[in-house]
Amino acid sequence: RDRRGRIRDRTCISERPEVVDRRDTIGHWEGDTIVGKRHSGAAITMVERASRFTCVSKMSNRKAASVRAALRRRLKPWCDRVETVTFDNGHEFAAHKLIEKDLGAKTYFAEPYSSWQRGTNENTNGLIRQYLPKARDLKTVTGSEIRMIENRLNNRPRKCLGYRTPHELFYNEEHELTVALRD
Q: What are the pLDDT digits (tens) for 47-70?
A: 999 999 999 999 989 999 999 999
Structure confidence at residue 40 (pLDDT): 84
* Residues 38, 24: Cα–Cα separation, whole Å: 39
Q: Are 59 and 66 in contact (CB under 8 A)?
A: yes
pTM (predicted TM-score):
0.89
Structure confidence at residue 174 (pLDDT): 63
Structure confidence at residue 66 (pLDDT): 96
Domains of the chain are: 13-170 (3.30.420.10)
Residues with pLDDT less than 50, the chain: 1-2, 176-182
CA 85 vs CA 17, 71, 97, 106, 119: distances in Å = 12, 10, 11, 6, 13
